[in-house]
Amino acid sequence: MDAKRLIAHRGDNTHYPENTLIAIEEALKAGATSFEFDVQMNADHSLVAFHDEDFLRMNGSSKAKIFEVDNAKMGRLSVHEPKQFGGQHYPTSVTYVDEIIELLKRYPGAQAFVEIKDESLGFWGVELVMDKLLKSLEGFEQQAIIISFNEPALVYTKKHSQLKIGLVFEEYSEQMKSIATKLNPEHLICWYKILPKEKVWSGGWQWMVYTVNDIELAKSLLKRGDIDFVETDDIQLLLNA
């Protein structure tokens, strides 16, 4: 399978805790050329690679909200994802976006799909979060793509930066097609199960579907002719197919 058409969802999250530096770097070491990670903003306005609103799933015991946790407290929380891995990866630190940017410097051919989460945008506001994120990614316009379900965040990105954008959506509808046409992102991103049997909307964008962890399904999607990228939790499985 063509590695350039595969995207490591939250890094190699089958073998390592999701959204952590080790998960992302191990995906790149395995041969991935693209990866996706989530971004939240904590109480110190630091940007971290994190999906959930709280730490319960990733830590196993702490119910603290990401917005209430400062850098000092966050440094004492392990995100070893115990439900999936037990104590195998204890302790694992939360990864800062700046650490991933440093990783991109070491992998200049790698591409990062940076998903800014609605929870942080809603709590802190689009301007505060996006200003911080866009400034962090200055100089990485060839490697980073901002993706989100949040249309205002994508509009803000287009207005204030040269970064490419990707619209993530859950409903394949005429209304969403209208939004996509108006926004004109470089990528359209959706769950593979909502794809129509016929060809998807054509436009100046590329299509990416998630989350595909089966070899034959990935092959069939990429053979359709209208799907450009497949996002997977098990990047090593698909790379070795």
- Structural contact between residues 71 and 45, judged by C-beta atoms closer than 8 angstroms: no
Cβ of 73: how many Cβ atoms within 10 Å?
15
How much of the chain is in helix, strand and coil states, percent to nearest 5? 40, 20, 40
User: At 28, which amino acid appears?
Assistant: L
**In the prediction, which pLDDT does 241 show?**
92
Q: Chain-centre distance of CA 43, in angstroms?
A: 21
- What's the CA gap between 134 and 191, in Å, rounded? 26
**In the prediction, which pLDDT does 181 show?**
97
**In the prediction, which pLDDT does 227 show?**
98
**In the prediction, which pLDDT does 214 show?**
98
**In the prediction, which pLDDT does 198 show?**
94
Q: Against a cut of 0.75, is the pTM above it?
A: yes
**In the prediction, which pLDDT does 38 show?**
98
**In the prediction, which pLDDT does 60 show?**
97
Which residue bears the tokens 């034959």?
216
Length reported for the chain: 241
Structure token digits, residue 43: 């109480």
Nearest to 1 by CA among 33, 37, 25, 41: 33
Cβ of 68: how many Cβ atoms within 10 Å?
11
- Structural contact between residues 239 and 13, judged by C-beta atoms closer than 8 angstroms: no
User: What tens-digit pLDDT sequence spans the chain (241 residues)?
Assistant: 899 999 999 999 999 999 999 999 999 999 999 999 999 999 999 999 999 999 999 999 999 999 999 999 999 999 999 999 999 999 999 999 999 999 999 999 999 999 999 999 999 999 999 999 999 999 999 999 999 999 999 999 999 999 999 999 999 999 999 999 999 999 999 999 999 999 999 999 999 999 999 999 999 999 999 999 999 999 999 999 9
**In the prediction, which pLDDT does 213 show?**
98
Q: Which CATH superfamily is domain 3-38+103-239 in?
A: Phosphatidylinositol (PI) phosphodiesterase (3.20.20.190)
**In the prediction, which pLDDT does 70 show?**
98
> What is the bridge-based pairing of β-strands 34-41 and 47-49?
antiparallel
Could you state, in order of their start, the residue ranges of all structural domains in the chain?
A: 3-38+103-239
- What's the CA gap between 77 and 224, in Å, rounded? 44
Q: Chain-centre distance of CA 187, in angstroms?
A: 13
User: At 134, which amino acid appears?
Assistant: L
Nearest to 48 by CA among 109, 101, 127: 101
